[in-house]
Structure 1
Amino acid sequence: MKQKIDQLILKITLSLIYRLRTRFDNKKKHYISWAISSPIKSTIYYSLFDNSFDNEHYRILNGKFNFSSNKLSSGVYARTRRNIHRIEKGISASLLVKREMFAKDYIEETVFGVEELLNTKYVNTPFHKWSVDVLNNYFQLVKLDEDLQYLSEKWKIMFNKFNIKDLENVNLHIPYNYSKLPISNIGFSELDSLFKRRHSVRWYNDKKVNVKLIKQAVESSLSSPSACNRQPFEVLYITGQRLNNMKALKLGFEMFSDNIKSFIFIVGDLSSYTEEQDKHLIYIDGGLFAMSLMLSLESLGISSCPINYPDTVGLDDKVQKILDLENYQKGVMLLSVGYANEDSPIPFSAKKELNEIFREIN
């Protein structure tokens, strides 16, 4: 009975909000001056008068729900990836300053998370190897109390159960010295030249881009930094009819639409998080990846253009239908890619000067 009453109250409330939004649609500016005085008033304003954040709330909650309810979601995978990365950061710190204990508040969750992922065969070999080596290193390094002794024994059983020994002879995927990083033959002048070379190209010739080159650029760009190494995105290479369907959305590229032969679409995965504080990480990590990707493509002679993907009402719903996405996925960046027409005009795009954006603060 109580549940039915609650549902009725929610239904009535929702109906009232819809009516308020319709009635006061032309009076938003009047209420903005009232709403800007505090965060709670701003929340009330968007709840009652403006639907601009409805889509974000909807997809964040879907991500949060999928994280907790779907064992095969990237939520469990992302959480365990994050924890493994946190552990290896603790190992790195311990190599410099001896510490007897760290990660005790999430080590159990990590061990059982790795077990769950290995049981479902959800993970690939690189993660398999990385998680195994880091946990082995952890249990060798820390001082074992009663709780950790139990987890250490549990880990040994898992180690034998999943034939993890097959990976023992491969190079260890654990923290290593900075001096062992690969030597780079690229100096500042070469990097600066690549930055200046990369420009947004909007006019492409008819030469088809080999998907192997796209994969090569994507794989290289996966070295981009990501918050706790979760990499909460998917990369879609779009051609054919779905390309035409995406073009029909008219996102500001209509004047050169006929030249576009393929899109790369970076899609954020909000099921990688449980906390609203992390809601912007899909854009941060996706943006870091996108810049690396554009530079990688440029190094392969492939031009690109980042296209505005605004958070307009209904856009993600339309894209979701075209590309068969999930409710917790959200567009981050759309790129047109192809081989530049040699006569393609390139906007000069004068950039801000250093003194406009840089301040030294002591």
Structure 2
Amino acid sequence: MDKKDVKVVLVTVKEAVRSTFFRRGGRLGRAMYRVLGTSHNREMNAVFSGAAEFYRVDRSRGQRFALRRHVHMLEKGLCMRPRRETFAVDYIETTVGDLRKCMAGNELSDIELKWCFDVLSAYFDATSTSPNARIRRARDEFLGLARPEVPIQESAPYEVGTLQDVVSIKALEALAVSRTSVRSYHSKPVDRGAIDRALIVALESPSACNRVPWTMRIMDNPEDARLVAGVAMGTAGYSEQVSNVAVLVGNLGAYSNERDRHLIYIDGSLAAMSFILALQAQGVSSCCVNWPDIGTREKKMASLLGLEQHERVVMLILFGYADEQGLTPYSGKLPVDAIRTFGLPSGRA
């Protein structure tokens, strides 16, 4: 029996054991799964490491993710109708303190600095008549900070009526329909300016409390791209044609609480779709690649990308200029009524 046969036998035995405790169900099945379901242990370790990283940064320098979250919470308070005279008491001093520390450590971009100062200025104007001592102390500390002079437009909350409808539903539908999963590419390089424009669109995606807990690791060197693409499952047979790969990496160090552990996948996926559509709008095709939670592959990818334990791969996106002679799956979609319901199930109201 050669190594390939041994591997097949081991996979078969493992699947038989898995199917047994899933079929058994109940307490015994769940207990067996807790022992044998090692992928959950990896996620648990990553979540723990993320919280540890959050508090390590909080002690050593300004906590940028907490600052972004709190400033966004202030924005939401400013948008409330009617607006309260006193709000955000529990975290306003922490927010100003984090801003001061982040400024001292040059942790923030000009865009972030402008946003923080504009929102905090609006907040302290809105609470100017509040008798709360914590707000007064935070205001005094804020007024002592040197306001940055950056040539960026006002970034405090603004009226919804100033928004414009710039894309028709017909054009958006056409863009979505034109996007398909392409696996055959020309070797022509994708201009980095086009990639950055797609990332600008991706950064406009919603993110829980505006923390943006993801990064894109771009491989635009064909040798690197093919090496990285080959680590994922499902790329055999076409990974050698790939010239560009984006690895979407989630940062669990953005959170102090395990309740938020899914946000790297939610926020990351929202950004990924925007990135893909923005590439498509520039004539650049793409293909999403599922990332499997398999220990050996996680370890290899972490080694290639230099990932920390609190960083997890969410997915891979292959992209480039499509080979017109290549084929792409039709991938028939579901009808709308197969995935849409209105209202609560009968008897639940």
Which residue number corresponds to residue 244 of structure 1? 226
Give, in whole Å, the separation in 1 of the partners of 2:148 and 2:21: 65
- Give the total of aligned pairs: 329
Per-residue deviation, residues 125-179 of structure 1 (Å, max 9, x unmatched): 0000000111111111111422211111111112xxx3x1524x85321111011
Q: Secondary structure at the match of 2:295?
A: coil
Residue matched to 2:85: 100
2:247 — aligned with what?
265
Kept in 2: contact 1:67–1:73 (CA 8 A): no
Secondary structure of the structure 2 residue equivalent to 1:58: helix
> Separation in 1 of the partners of 2:61 and 2:303?
21
Structure 2 counterpart of 1:116: 101
> Structure 2 counterpart of 1:100, which letter?
E
1:5-44 matched pairs, under 5 angstroms: 27-32=17-22, 36=26, 42=30, 44=31
Q: TM-score, normalised by structure 2?
A: 0.88
What is the TM-score when the length of structure 1 is the normalising length? 0.85
The question of 1:217 aligning with 2:206 is answered: no
Deviation at 1:284, TM superposition (A): 0.3
* Residue type at the aligned position of 1:101: T
CA contact (8 A) 1:133 1:174 kept: yes
Residue 243 of structure 1: how far off its partner (Å):
2.2
Local SS of the residue matching 2:39: coil
Q: Deviations over 1:260-296 (max 9, x none)?
A: 0110111000000011111110000000000001100
Instruction: Pick the aligned partner of 2:75 from 88, 92, 109.
Output: 88
In structure 2, the partner of 1:62 is 49
- Corresponding position of 1:207: 188
* Aligned Cα root-mean-square deviation (Å): 2.4
More helix by share: 1
Cα separation, 2, equivalents of 1:73 and 1:302: 42
Give CA-to-partner distance per residue, 1:202-261, whole Å, 9 cap, x none. Answer: 111121111111111111221011111111001111133432321332521112112101
Partner in structure 1 of residue 168 of structure 2 = 187
Counterpart-to-counterpart distance in 2, 1:226 and 1:194: 23
Distance 1:198 1:281, change over 3 A: same
Out of 294, 299, 304, the residue aligned to residue 286 of structure 2 is 304
Verify the 8 A CA contact 2:119 2:155 in the aligned structure 1: yes
- In structure 2, the CA distance between the partners of 1:188 and 1:131, relative to structure 1 (3 Å rule), is same
**Cα distance 1:74–1:60, how it changes in 2: closer, same or farther (>3 A)?**
farther
The answer (yes or no) to whether the contact 2:232–2:291 under 8 Å persists in 1 is no
Of 149, 165, 179, 1:166 maps to: 149
Partner in structure 2 of residue 327 of structure 1: 309
CA distance in 2, matches of 1:37, 1:148: 51
Q: Is the 8 A contact 1:200 1:303 kept in 2?
A: yes
User: SS of 2:338's equivalent?
Assistant: helix
Kept in 2: contact 1:73–1:271 (CA 8 A): no
In 1: Cα distance, 2:109 partner to 2:233 partner: 36
In structure 2, relative to structure 1, the CA distance for the partners of 1:36 and 1:234 (3 Å cut) is farther
Q: Equivalent pairs: percent with the same residue?
A: 29
Counterpart amino acid of residue 186 in structure 2:
N
Letter in 1 for 2:36: F
Quote the offset at 1:311 in angstroms.
Answer: 1.3
Deviation string 1:28-79 (CA, Å, 9 cap, x unpaired) is 54444665459xx84x444423312121111111111111113599992111
Worse overlay, 352-361 or 307-316 = 307-316
**Residues of 2 paired with 1:251 and 1:201: CA distance?**
16
Where 2:101 maps in the other structure, the secondary structure is helix
Structure 2 unaligned regions, length at least 5: 1-13, 345-349
Contact 1:66 1:75 in 2 (8 A): no
Asked whether the 8 Å contact 1:81–1:228 carries over to 2, the reply is: yes
TM-aligned CA distance change 1:73 to 1:218, over 3 Å? farther
Structure 1 counterpart of 2:135: 148
- CA spacing shift, 1:353–1:320, aligned 2, 3 Å: same
Cα distance in 1 for partners of 2:266, 2:224 equals 27
- C-alpha distance in structure 2 between counterparts of 1:307 and 1:238, whole Å: 15
Whether the 8 Å contact between 2:62 and 2:107 is mirrored in structure 1 is no
Q: Tell me the amino acid that sits aligned with residue 120 of structure 1.
A: G
Aligned to 1:294: 276
Q: What secondary structure, in the 3-state scheme, does the structure 2 residue paired with 1:325 have?
A: coil
Q: Does the 8 Å CA contact 1:75/1:272 hold for their aligned counterparts?
A: no
